[in-house]
Amino acid sequence: MDQQELIPHLFRTEYSKIIAVLCSHFGINYIEVAEDIVSDTFLTAAELWGIKGIPENPAAWLYTVAKNKTRNYLKRHQLFEKKIVTDFKNQPMDTDPDIDLSTTAIADSQLAMIFTVCHPSVSEEAQIALALSLLCGFGVQEIADAFLTNKETVYKRLKRAKEKLREENIAIAPPSVRMVAERMETVLTTLYLLFNEGYYSVSGDHPLKKDCCMEAMRLCLLLLGNPLTDTPATNALMALMCFHASRFEARTNSKGEIILYEDQDTRLWNKDLVEKGIFYLNCAANGSQLSKFHLEAGIAYWHTHPEDNKEKWEAILQLYNKLLMLEYTPVAALNRTYALAKANSIEEAIAEAEKLQLTDNHFYFVLLGTLYEHLDPIKAKTLLQTAKEIARSESDRQLIQKKIAELGEKH
């Protein structure tokens, strides 16, 4: 991996770890200080590595530089040091602090940070935006894309969230029983969004960002490692991630272009991840509460079965029906119509899909174009052309153009 690929990769995997540890030292009032130090660390890496080459252990290099920059900052800012020293609850702070970036310290700090930024005094959207920024290393544009909004809105959400946490003087502490009860749903939603951003990114032209997915799975495992957060819903989310991740290698070709589910080489599906998904799904069966993650994991489980038979699609259809009753979303309703076509009939699926009128979503037109392929090829082509015009990434446009070309060859 060269420098152009390595630094973004490390930013995604290491930025949030260092942020969590520094915030644990500084306190919630000084999030921006931690962000500045870590951002400056990566800037230094970009400058020096281009001249001196990539160090033998890049992550360790980042940790060392971040520690040094923290010490230097405190030494240079005497007034800052005097002001914040009273904020430290666990230990006294001097100008040569022991910044512990061990695996255990990082895990403890990140677990504490997850529940800190998901405090109920902050709006849910702002909680998720802040968590995506601090815990996952998302840029403002990526967060905006995840929320289908603009950068200015995200900037305001992040600013308000930080101000609210400061006003409430929220301590960064390990999760308690009450914190888990109040914030667990938001925490899991944040990791769910992170995985989705990686599995199918609407930002830029990178349809599969494995770093995002791996970070989501790592943070989910962090939750599973704590008895308070090792819940059925957490296990269901982990199962969902494993089932989706099992098809990583089959989902794109050598050019990075998306391969549709029905065209994937099933020999590339990762059987070990499927088995892990089954393990976590079984663990999720404990308890009486059914979450959306249980149902989505069930849908993903059936998608790991390569057979294209009625039993499979009827099972998926029933799971979508339950999911929509539990928590309706237009995307889930749209996905249900594909299962409806497979389980019942194309005509019934078209009727249900057209009721949704998701005319600003290119997947809506792709689905209708696919359903109309044999019934009305001319209409199918028109629908696919519309999908291509409103698609947001080049990879999507290429995929749709390929479908249009294949349609022309058949008819």
Q: In terms of pTM, does the model score above 0.75?
A: yes
In a domain, 294, yes or no: no
pLDDT tens for 10-33 read: 888 899 899 999 988 888 888 888
In a domain, 177, yes or no: no
Query: Where residue 91 falls among pLDDT bands split at 50, 70, 90?
Result: very low
Long-range contacts at 314-318 (CB < 8 A, ≥ 24 apart): 314/343, 316/342, 316/343, 317/342, 317/343, 317/344
pLDDT at residue number 343: 95
- Statement: residue 288 has pLDDT above 80: yes
Please state which of the ranges 29-33, 63-67, 225-229, 331-335 shows the lowest mean pLDDT.
Answer: 29-33
Phi/psi-derived region of residue 201, left when phi > 0, alpha when psi is between -120 and 50, beta in every other case: beta
Average pLDDT value for residue range 200-228: 79
Give the burial class of 401: count Cβ atoms within 10 A of its Cβ; 0-12 exposed, 13-18 middle, 19 or more buried: middle
Please state which of the ranges 5-19, 185-199, 205-219 shows the lowest mean pLDDT.
Answer: 205-219
- Statement: residue 367 has pLDDT above 60: yes
In a domain, 14, yes or no: yes
Whose tokens are 């590595």? That residue is: 49
In a domain, 41, yes or no: yes
In a domain, 202, yes or no: no
Q: Which of 99, 96, 107, 164 has its CA nearest to residue 130?
A: 164
CB-side neighbour CA atoms (13 Å) of 192: 20
Q: Answer for the pair 176, 231: CB distance below 8 angstroms, yes or no.
A: no
- Statement: residue 284 has pLDDT above 90: yes
Range of the domain at 60: 3-84
pLDDT at residue number 93: 46
pLDDT tens for 117-144 read: 888 888 877 888 888 888 888 888 878 8
**Report for 175-179, 298-302, 399-403: range of highest mean pLDDT:** 298-302
pLDDT tens for 45-55 read: 999 998 899 99
Counting the structural domains of the chain, the total is 1
pLDDT: which is higher, 87 or 179: 179
In a domain, 29, yes or no: yes
In a domain, 256, yes or no: no
- Statement: residue 92 has pLDDT above 80: no
pLDDT at residue number 302: 97
Query: Where residue 168 falls among pLDDT bands split at 50, 70, 90?
Result: confident
pLDDT: which is higher, 179 or 25: 179
Tell me what the pLDDT averaged over the chain comes to: 87
pLDDT: which is higher, 315 or 150: 315
User: How is residue 174 written in tokens?
Assistant: 């390990």
The rounded distance, in Å, linking the Cα atoms of 282 and 285 is: 5
In a domain, 310, yes or no: no
pLDDT at residue number 82: 60
Q: Answer for the pair 159, 191: CB distance below 8 angstroms, yes or no.
A: no
User: How is residue 86 written in tokens?
Assistant: 């009273």
- Statement: residue 304 has pLDDT above 90: yes
